[in-house]
Structure 1
Amino acid sequence: MDQSTLPLQIDSYLDRLKQRFNESPDLIQKVFHIKGQEVVIHFISYQIKKDRLERELLEPLTKSEKPWSVHDLQNKIPLASSQTVSSIEKIAELIIHGNVVVYFPGEKEAVAFLLPQQQVRALERAETESLVFGPQIAFTESLVTNLNIIRWRLDVDDLVVEKLIVGERIKSEIRIVYLKSIANDENVDTMRQRIKDLKVAEVEDTSVLGQLIEDSSSSIFPQLINTELPDRFCNSISKGRVGVLVDKSPTALIGPMTLFSFFESTEDLYMRWNMGTFIRLLRFIAMAFSIILTPMYVAALTYHYEIIPTSLLVSLGQSRAMVPFPPVLEALLLEMLIELLREAGARLPTKVGQTMGIVGGIVLGQAAVKAGFTSNILIIIIALSALASFTAPSYLMGTAIRIIRFPMIILAGAWGLIGIMFALSFIVIHLLKQKSLGRPYLAPIYPFQWKDINDSLIRLPFQKNNARPLNVMPKDTERHDPNKAAEKKDVDPS
């Protein structure tokens, strides 16, 4: 017989469980004698609710007038979340997850009752995806809390929540969330299969899971969205996308996505459609601005003076008269300075970080100009490029844009406008090859889908926005009848 399989005598049972926990003092083992029957109860003290243990388990257990059996324990104890186990390994796993295990020595099975004492952070405002309009709550590290929020927002019986366990050494509970009547089965199967196929020691967070299952791990562009906003998560699910939650992670994963999805915000929906369209287009312009502005400065001053207006050329010459570095080195130094200030501000405490960013930028900028390390005009250009990159609602996409600037500046310094065009062509070709859960990453531009323009570049009024994005291949493409949605039935005064 396997030495880790029940039944076991009490001494052997207690010894093997202690060995399993490496003689940890946190493991509490109590042996009770009830009506001549030995009962072993064990748990980790700080992982269970002791008041419920005493009131709902120990009290009815000790007051019984006859011996207990496994069947009686499951049917007469008023606790819904119970299960039977038959091995030391499974018992140890359940204890770690907040279960109280009751064992009658000599029985083939023990009974585990879930009484977890979880330290859950209260619902708070989102930090990295802050909104002016719309719901302000964010996900927490508790999977139960996050599922509760989602069920509250999507209170339909069509919502499917699948449970998976991933991790060879440290196991993590993962939930796949989608609407059965809308989500494409291929998208769901792809997400499920990629998670099931993972052979890793542990999955620390949804961001780690996203890197493990995305289509191209070598690309700098994220292919799945990480969000801490329940409203964005639920909005994406209602469009036919597939969501993933990981226990102990305060963010959720959404796919398949497109490049343009990373520049959308749920705030666009809460504004009037013309305001939302303007802000969305502003983000795309800012992205292009951030990528090419500094490289264009380097290329123009290095090779293409003729494209600079004469009046501006004089100002540039005067500004750079004392600068000893070539434009490419000057731009790289300032870009690196901006990144250092940004990283320092992010790592320092909030109030200190804000002060450091403002004061550091002003002081270092002024000192660099007076010392002749750079020109006033380049400081303005670098600051505008940095501000433009911060308009991306996705932190990962904003970081990718800032990183892209560095090789583009080097190519601009080496070959001028030809180097910039080479870099842009390489980026476009790279994006054309990318996929998200097997779906085109540049949709609806390539392949072109006119109906999806509303869900990417612009936002139409809700009455006319009746189609779900076709690039995710939803089962039900229509949200509502646009003709009925646009009807206005006023009260007849007569």
Structure 2
Amino acid sequence: MKKWIIDNLVTSRGKQERKSLFQILEIAKKSIDFHEFSPSKRQDFLFISYYRTLIDGEKLQGKILPYIQSNLKTIHNLHQLKSVIPIEDILITNDTEEIELKLNQGFAVVRLQKTDEMCALINIENSNLGYRENNETENEFSVVGPKIGFVENIDINIHLLRRQIVASDLIFEEITVGSMSKTKVVIFYLEGITNPKHIQTVRERLKNLEFDMVFDSSQIDQMITDNAHTPFPLFLSTERMDRVTYAIVNGQVAIMSSGSPYVITGPATIMDFFVSPEDYYLPWVIGSFFRIIRILGVIFSMFSTPLYVSVLTYHYEIIPVDLLGPIVNSRVNVPFPPVLEVIFLEITIELLREAGARLPTKIGQTLGIVGGIVIGQASVEAALTSNILLIIVSLSALASFTTPIFKMSNTIRLLRFPFILAAALWGGFGIIISFVLLLTHLMRLKSLGTPYLVPLYPFRSSDYADSFIRSSYKYTTKRPGYLKPKLLKRYNAGQDHDDINNE
């Protein structure tokens, strides 16, 4: 009985919320950009309604009005109207939810009589208005290789991808997300290569989303992630087309949303965030060297200041005698313990970084250079910090910039502070405990069900050819095994020129 009452309440509430076509148009008339008129001499026949800020005026004037006016005498129903207008995307319906959605997407609503509930929806939206045409990457720079990035228009992005991956196996699926924004979200992958389980998982998570406004793909990233309580990004977010293309060819799934120039790909592993597209455009020895430099830079960025706090608070005995004198002299007038000294400088660096990011480019660059020099020099002269720590913190901040993906860079910046506090409380033992907890957390993380630390854990020797180093193309002929692609082999390595010359 109780269930029957609830079902009836839900049904009645749904019926009350359903608007009629007359109500939809009356509400729309309150907006200054809504327009309704009749192209016929008879004022009681054929009405066109639309939002002028959403439509393409040239389509309305060139492909609708001339054909309607020249065939007014022969138009007696909406199907005849559809046959005379040279536009393919025309829908005849009386579904008010569909009408309201299409009206707000740039369709024109055409009725023969004002009292008609049945109408024709004609697609005359201006899909390019307001979108930038310049698609160079702004935040992921590359010295070598293409500079092509994504834009906010999904159709343009699909065009770019179709030109890059010339294969009918490249599939694009559309899902609408957001009860108010009605954001177009597209899943794309390679049929016959990508694991169907990954595709199905992404599809189900997107369809189960209940959200009002979706502004950017980063929101979708957070809503469909395997673990929302981790600071680590579990999907790789990028604006570079070559990075997304490489992910798709490897067997990953990609997601892009309307209004966002960033595409997210998964399943992602922690090693994906230290890979730069430049690694594949340079000789493999040089590319591997730069990749190792990035990984070492991240390790230095995370552990340099905690080790400073740990050594100067608990472990003076491990400092070499030759280095002990300069350290003591640099801190002789500093009134604060090492932990406060480090936190003061770290927060100062973060403030400079945030201020530089929020200001216009020229002012931000000036602030970063002048502010860093002035504050650093003044801090040392005022004995608020030691000059040795200033060098360590500066190098630590510099090392964190080597991470190609901005989201992972943010994570590394955040992780330094728990390590610093643990070092202040328990010294080297605190750093070890923090590292063990971090490693345990990473071992439990998954991206679309794939372990985050693979190929480190679970150990997969076959996937090391493109992890810490970028091996020669001769040894990267297979797709990563942890993605479980339907087709493992990418290409045939062929024969080296050295072998040919020897023959």
% identical equivalent positions: 38
**Match status 1:145 vs 2:153:** no
How far residue 215 of structure 1 moved from its aligned partner, in angstroms, is 0.7
Q: Give the corresponding residue for 1:29.
A: 36
Q: Of 468, 474, 491, which aligns to 2:479?
A: 468
Moved more, 129-138 or 97-106: 97-106
Q: Equivalents in 2 of 1:202, 1:214: separation in Å?
A: 18
Check the 8 A contact 1:35/1:67 in 2, yes or no: no
Aligned-pair distance for 1:264? 0.6
Q: What is the Cα deviation at residue 230 of structure 1? A: 1.1
Secondary structure in 1 aligned to 2:228? Answer: coil
Please name the residue that 1:230 is paired with.
241
Could you tell me how far 1:147 is from its partner in structure 2? Answer: 1.3
Given residue 171 of structure 1, which amino acid in structure 2 is its aligned partner? Answer: K
| Corresponding residue for residue 262 of structure 1 | 273
After superposition, the C-alpha distances for 1:412-452 in whole angstroms (9 at most, x for unaligned) are 11111000101111111000000001100000010111121
Task: Determine the C-alpha separation between the residues in 1 that align with 2:18 and 2:371.
Answer: 64
Which residue of 2 is the match for residue 66 of structure 1? 74
Determine the structure 2 residue equivalent to 1:391: 402
Asked whether the 8 Å contact 1:4–1:16 carries over to 2, the reply is: no
| Contact 1:158–1:181 (CA under 8 A) maintained in structure 2 | yes
SS of alignment partner, residue 46 of structure 1: coil
- Structure-to-structure mapping, 1:117-196, within 5 angstroms: 117=126, 118-196=129-207
| Residue deviations 1:24-45 (CA, integer Å, cap 9, x gap) | 1211001243689711101111
Aligned length: 483
Letter in 1 for 2:118: E
Question: Aligned partner of 2:75: which letter?
Answer: P
1:208 and 2:219 matched: yes
**3-state SS in 2 of match to 1:455:** coil
Partner of 1:322: 333
Answer yes or no: is the 8 Å Cα contact 2:24–2:100 preserved in 1.
yes
Q: Which runs of 4+ in 1 moved over 6 A?
A: 2-6, 34-37, 487-491
Aligned to 1:48: 55
CA distance change for structure 1 residues 271 and 419 in 2, over 3 Å: closer, same or farther? Answer: same
1-structure distance, mates of 2:423, 2:416: 10
User: How many Å apart are 1:488 and its aligned residue?
Assistant: 7.5
1:114 to 116, 123, 138: 123
Question: For residue 473 of structure 1, what is the amino acid of its counterpart?
Answer: K
AA aligned to 1:263 is: F
Partner of 1:435: 446
Structure 2 CA distance for aligned equivalents of residues 220 and 4 of structure 1? 40
Say if 1:123 and 1:139, in contact at 8 Å, map to a contact too.
no
Alignment partners' CA distance in 1, 2:96 and 2:31: 16
Q: Distance in 1 between the 2:218 and 2:201 partners?
A: 18
Structure-2 residue corresponding to 1:96: 104
Pair 1:305 & 2:313 matched: no
Q: SS state of the match for residue 245, structure 2?
A: helix
Choose 218-227 or 195-204, whichever is displaced more: 195-204
Aligned-partner Cα distance in 2 for 1:68–1:281: 73
Q: Does residue 381 in structure 1 map to residue 388 in structure 2?
A: no
SS of the equivalent of 2:45 reads strand
1:80: which partner in 2?
A: 88
Contact 2:356 2:364 in 1 (8 A): yes
* Distance across 1 between alignment mates of 2:157 and 2:373: 42
C-alpha separation in 1, matches of 2:43 and 2:297:
78
In 2, Cα distance between equivalents of 1:3 and 1:55: 40
Q: 8 Å contact 1:165–1:171 — kept in the other structure?
A: yes
State the AA in 2 paired with 1:285: L
Report if the CA contact (8 A) 2:269-2:451 is conserved. yes
Q: Tell me if the contact between 2:39 and 2:65 (Cα under 8 Å) persists in the aligned partners.
A: no
How far 1:489 sits from its partner (Å)?
9.7
Taking the aligned partners of 1:34 and 1:187, their CA distance within structure 2 comes to 58
Which moved further from structure 2: 292-301 or 98-107? Answer: 98-107
Counterpart of 1:446, as a letter, is Y
State whether residues 412 and 420 of structure 1, in contact with CA within 8 Å, keep that contact through their aligned partners in structure 2.
yes
CA RMSD in angstroms comes to 2.0
**Equivalents in 1 of 2:439, 2:74: separation in Å?**
76
| Change beyond 3 A, Cα 1:212–1:3 | closer
What's the offset of the Cα at 1:20? 3.2
